[in-house]
Structure 1
Amino acid sequence: MIHEVAVIPGDGIGPEVVEAALGVLDAAAEAHGGVRFRYTHFPWSCRYYAEHGRMMPEEGLQTLSGFESIFLGAVGWPGVPDHVSLWGLLLPIRRRFEQYINYRPLRLLRGLRSPLKGIEPGDIDLVIVRENNEGEYSNMGGRIYEGTPREIVIQNTVFTRTGTERVVRFAFELARRRSRRLVSATKSNGINFTMPFWDQVVGEIAREYPDVTVSSYHIDALAAYFVLRPKTLDVVVGSNLFGDILSDLAAAIVGGIGLAPSANLNPERKYPSMFEPVHGSAPDIAGKGIANPTAAIWSAALMAEHLGHPDIASAIVQALEDTLAAGIVTPDQGGSAKTADVAAAVKARVRGRS
């Protein structure tokens, strides 16, 4: 079986962690037999933007539609505004292919330390389900009288029943398969239209899942709970903005943003899904060979699982955790290992030569 994967290494440390992750994925596929991943690389990035005036070609989305999956490294570079790189590549992919679920698992892995006192490996094991296509990141609004004292800026937030119901239902299904506990992020005491609507939909769908205990917390209180009582959290569902913020906070409490994988899912598999670490391009360490590949390797495992190979995914995550537990960690985690050192150690373990 051959899976066709579009690879966009992107900017900064993106190409470095992509190389590490795909090397591990290939080693795991080889060890399990019968599966291959065939990669087609695309140079779309801020460098491409500097040369062509756009982040990807006009036919880029059509090109990507022919692949089973997309693997992204990182996007962003000094000199290119973040809104240009984001709206020119990442967000169009998410929306064109209806990747309406942003799935972000966070776990304190063996070998890593949380900055939180008294937290040990295994104490934090949660998944954030983030709405990925609308909400606060809707591309609606504008500016008038720009640059004058009368300047007006409007940013519209759009919540649809279809968009809200499908992400909430996905989260309930996930909670049912895990601990049967779900937390919903809201701010209905201050945002008086969209958030009460969100709460209403959560309540309606909760009646379909009487076996799942659901709690609703205002986003400010929930952010505090992530720090003060992370052991109580399992599946958390939130809007585009809330899910984004909580995901980075969750990464911080398990050791850092370099540990956070993600999957942009089209659950119906009508379109390709996209997998990416969420750490960004890190221009300050690009080219030094010290980027932490953990998030990218874990993202590759999520891709393998989505493509129907949970055994490969499990082997990768187990080998990754064993590697970290052996003290083979990059400088951001207090170690001295290079990106390639971590990748080589994980590959050796998935091949059974640890």
Structure 2
Amino acid sequence: MKKLKISVIPGDGIGREVVPETLRVLDRLAEVHGGVTFQYETHPWSCEYYLENGVMMPSDGMARLHQTDAIYLGAVGNPKLVPDHISLWGLLIKIRRECEQVINIRPAQYIEGVKSPLAEPNQFDFIVVRENSEGEYSEVGGRIHSGEDEIAIQNAVFTRKATERTIRYGFELAQKRKGRVTSATKSNGIVHSMPFWDDVFQEVSNSYPAIETESNHIDALAAFFVSKPQHFDVVVASNLFGDILTDLGATIMGSIGIAPAANINLNGKYPSMFEPVHGSAPDIIGQGIANPFGQLWTAKMMLDHLGFEELGSLLIKAIKETIGDGIKTKDLGGDSSTKEVIEHVMTKLL
């Protein structure tokens, strides 16, 4: 019996509603199927915590996270209370950077019972591997002067190490899936970083002769996500391009509320972090109608990462069966509450 210690950060808004409910599902999985127990260490770090303490997390927060096997995050942000650049850089991005979570992965697939906005979704099933530590989201740059002479410079930083490990992760993943890797680029307009990305992609692809490869400019690729999503298997992308593509992937699924994400540490020094793509949804706080499927799918990715793929498979099966039974929250066209969805999922785990 393995005991897993999980750092739980419900965060803001609906994160506080769906995270405790989904922990019940994890405990049910452990109870019914065995092999693992979960020990949760819950942290109140959030925008409200910031208003009370002036920081998004305490000074020893990172050290406490480092002592656990994984980080399970709900949602971050309440712009009415705290500007987004403070809440995100003080918690979410701080954790990503200091835990060296250099890869972000987000799956997108057609789920029977969830209405896709696409006329012909064609059973798409792909995953985006996003570089998660540098690129367009580097902190290099600055502002100078004021008025009409004001200048803002934002430098995109691409290192061979980070670019190669992202692309190689995608190829390794494709070997376990359908065997195709698509690279997101813009080398016809961004004249230094994107040709560099293309060169590394070609070099890495030479080590995987059995994998089918292609490179698409980001504007065309976004269009292809809509016109032929079933074509894709693994997509590798820079920090910004991956961020944009994964929101589009969640949208064509039918709701950003069902989309999961994982921030992966590759060197084993620090825990990885698992979070749904949806935000804190302040407009529906306290109504009991928040969609828990994204958080549940995030839990599935956490189980897979920690070596409990069988439990992860059981959980995603329960999610799909629940949706298939018509037990859905309002954003998916249903009328079930958060608790009703959770209860139904748990009946599928018996």
Partner residue of 1:86? 88
Q: 1: CA distance between counterparts of 2:44 and 2:120?
A: 44
Partner residue of 2:40? 39
Q: 2: CA distance between counterparts of 1:230 and 1:198?
A: 23
Contact 1:20 1:297 in 2 (8 A): no
Contact 1:105 1:128 in 2 (8 A): yes
Letter in 2 for 1:7: V
Partner residue of 1:315? 314
3-state SS of the aligned residue for 2:120? coil
Letter in 1 for 2:53: H
Partner residue of 2:211? 212
Q: Which one scores higher on RCO, CA 8 angstroms, separation ≥ 6?
A: 1
Q: 1: CA distance between counterparts of 2:228 and 2:18?
A: 32
Partner residue of 2:130? 130
Partner residue of 2:178? 179
1:84-112 CA-to-partner distances (Å, cap 9, x unmatched) read 11111111111111111101111111211
Q: 2: CA distance between counterparts of 1:217 and 1:34?
A: 43
1:245-282 CA-to-partner distances (Å, cap 9, x unmatched) read 00000101011110100110113322100000010100
1:184-224 CA-to-partner distances (Å, cap 9, x unmatched) read 00000111110000000000000000000110000000000
Partner residue of 1:290? 289
| Aligned length, in residue pairs | 348
State TM-score, norm by structure 2. Answer: 0.98
Q: 1: CA distance between counterparts of 2:130 and 2:207?
A: 20
Letter in 1 for 2:48: R
Q: 1: CA distance between counterparts of 2:139 and 2:32?
A: 44
**Percentage of pairs with the same residue:** 55
Contact 1:105 1:262 in 2 (8 A): yes
3-state SS of the aligned residue for 1:284? helix
The 5 Å alignment of 1:254-293 reads 254-293=253-292
Pick from 109, 117, 129: which aligns with 2:111?
A: 109
Letter in 2 for 1:79: L
Partner residue of 2:226? 227
Q: 2: CA distance between counterparts of 1:85 and 1:141?
A: 21
Partner residue of 1:119? 121
3-state SS of the aligned residue for 2:250? helix
Q: 1: CA distance between counterparts of 2:251 and 2:11?
A: 24
3-state SS of the aligned residue for 2:295? helix
Q: 1: CA distance between counterparts of 2:300 and 2:217?
A: 32
Partner residue of 1:161? 160
Letter in 1 for 2:135: G
Q: 2: CA distance between counterparts of 1:29 and 1:191?
A: 49
State TM-score, norm by structure 1. Answer: 0.97
- Compute the displacement of 1:79 (Å): 2.8
Gaps of 5+ in 1: none
Q: 1: CA distance between counterparts of 2:247 and 2:308?
A: 27
3-state SS of the aligned residue for 1:100? strand
Partner residue of 2:13? 12
Q: 2: CA distance between counterparts of 1:176 and 1:268?
A: 21
- Compute the displacement of 1:34 (Å): 2.6
Partner residue of 1:337? 336
1:319-349 CA-to-partner distances (Å, cap 9, x unmatched) read 0100000000000011100111111110111
Of the structure 1 ranges 128-137 and 16-25, higher mean CA displacement relative to structure 2 is found in 16-25
1:53-106 CA-to-partner distances (Å, cap 9, x unmatched) read 111112211111111100000000023111111111111111111111101111
The 5 Å alignment of 1:35-74 reads 35-74=36-75
Alpha carbon RMSD of aligned pairs, Å? Answer: 0.9
Q: 2: CA distance between counterparts of 1:96 and 1:106?
A: 27
Q: 2: CA distance between counterparts of 1:291 and 1:342?
A: 10
3-state SS of the aligned residue for 1:110? coil
Gaps of 5+ in 2: none
1:113-163 CA-to-partner distances (Å, cap 9, x unmatched) read 11111225xx111101001111111111111224x2211111111111100
1:26-72 CA-to-partner distances (Å, cap 9, x unmatched) read 11111111311110010111001111111111221111111110000
3-state SS of the aligned residue for 2:224? helix
Q: 2: CA distance between counterparts of 1:27 and 1:339?
A: 17
Q: 2: CA distance between counterparts of 1:129 and 1:269?
A: 19
Letter in 1 for 2:207: E
Q: 1: CA distance between counterparts of 2:266 and 2:309?
A: 16
Letter in 2 for 1:57: P
